[in-house]
Amino acid sequence: MTAKSAPWIERRLAFLDGDEPSTRLPKLRAFETVVLLILVAEYWARAIPKWDGLATSYVVILGPATACCLIGLAPRFRRVAFAALAVMHAMVIWGEFPAAGNHAYLELLLCLLGAGLDVTDEADQVLFLRAVRWLTITIFFYAGLQKLVHGYWTAGQYLAFSVWIDSFRPVLAALIPDDDFARLLSFTRQVGDGPYLVTSPLFLAASNGAYLAEMVVAVLLALPATRRLGVVSGIVLLLAIEVAAREVFFGALVVNALLLFLPRARNGWLVPTVAVAMAALLLVRLGVLPEMKFY
């Protein structure tokens, strides 16, 4: 397919390229390995705290999903493993619909890419990289836009309300004046409680800065000249969000995707790092390591 005959969308997304060709394969291999490590850890992290309350479908899937993640670590079986994982993940989403989280859809999409594209094929490499990069840009952009249009961040209502959440409280204590903080803490989330409003400039700057930062990161990632800055800003922003939100699996997936924006293969270190982190999270769930809240 020549550049002229390529579908318009393909030409539109060509701005996402810019890799040194020899770096594509190692970059994608590392990316896929990290996805598999996150998936296997997440399957078990969701299972361990509620052994007795697990849905039968989840119990049935747990063993095969684990096997697929482990088998998939070998590159020659990877596409088959991703295909099976995509089917199982779709079953989980279907079973939980409409309550399945957005990270489950992201994981399903990544499994489908891993199953459908051959990372040893040059054209597929380009397609894979474009797809993950564009997905990442849309996630950042819409995460910010949704906060803006629904209007719970412009006057800080969302964060003021979130004082009751353990992991948010220490962060918010640093942003909210003491008297407002005590007032918000006195609420029990009952009808009639409120107002969940804080007028401190620092707090309002943080609340509005959150969604603006997400949309700015999307723009920085999209522009070739600012892509590196976008990667660094995106990771810093994610770390800041995760201090409160603790959505570690989603966060790790997005960091993994962010590193794929770098023109050289800079994501190899993420494989052992994520392996150790995921093992640590499972040890937390098993009670071997001290309790820590994460999702």
Partner 1 sequence: MKKRIVYLTLLALTLWPLAHIGLAMQYGLSPWKLCGWGMYATPRLGTLGMEVFYRDAGADQMRQLTAPETDERTAANAFLERHRWLGALARPAQLAETVLRARPHTEALKIVVFRPVLERDSGMIVMTTTEWEYPR
Element (H, E) at 91: helix 78-96
Nearest to 232, CA basis, from 217, 244, 212: 217
Residues 46, 286: Cα–Cα separation, whole Å: 12
Residues 291, 61: Cα–Cα separation, whole Å: 27
CB-wise, 149 or 283, nearer to partner 1? 149
Query: Does residue 162 interact with partner 1 by CB under 8 A?
Result: yes
Indicate which single residue of 5, 7, 53, 166 sits in contact with partner 1 (rule: CB under 8 A): 7
Structure-token match 């397609």, residue found: 127
Query: Does residue 238 interact with partner 1 by CB under 8 A?
Result: no
| Piece of 68-76, 94-102, 221-229, 264-272 that binds partner 1 (CB under 8 A) | 94-102
Residues 57, 103: Cα–Cα separation, whole Å: 19
Query: Does residue 101 interact with partner 1 by CB under 8 A?
Result: yes
CB-wise, 13 or 36, nearer to partner 1? 13
The C-alpha angle with vertex 32 and arms to 82 and 106, in degrees rounded to 5, equals: 70
Query: Does residue 243 interact with partner 1 by CB under 8 A?
Result: no
Q: Could you tell me the smallest distance in angstroms from the CB atom of residue 230 to partner 1? A: 17
Q: Are 73 and 36 in contact (CB under 8 A)?
A: yes
CB-wise, 22 or 138, nearer to partner 1? 138
Question: Looking at residue 290, what DSSP letter applies?
Answer: P
Query: Does residue 91 interact with partner 1 by CB under 8 A?
Result: no
Query: Does residue 82 interact with partner 1 by CB under 8 A?
Result: no
CB-wise, 75 or 151, nearer to partner 1? 151
Query: Does residue 10 interact with partner 1 by CB under 8 A?
Result: yes
Length of the chain: 295
Query: Does residue 246 interact with partner 1 by CB under 8 A?
Result: no
Residues 278, 106: Cα–Cα separation, whole Å: 18
Q: Which residues contact 3 (CB under 8 A, 6 or more apart)?
A: 11
CB-wise, 84 or 129, nearer to partner 1? 129
* Contact map string, positions 175 to 204, toward partner 1, x by CB under 8 A: --------------xxxxxxxxx-------
Q: Which residues of 230-261 are buried (b: 16+ CB within 10 A; e: fewer)?
A: bbebbbebbeebbebbbbbbbbbbbbbbbbbb
Indicate which single residue of 74, 99, 225, 288 sits in contact with partner 1 (rule: CB under 8 A): 99
Q: Could you tell me the smallest distance in angstroms from the CB atom of residue 288 to partner 1? A: 30
- Residue 127 corresponds to which tokens in the numbers above? 């397609």
Query: Does residue 138 interact with partner 1 by CB under 8 A?
Result: yes
Residues that bind partner 1 (CB under 8 A): 1, 7, 9-10, 13, 98-102, 105, 109, 113, 116-117, 123-124, 127, 131, 134-135, 138-139, 142-143, 145-147, 149-153, 155, 157-158, 160-162, 189-197, 245, 247
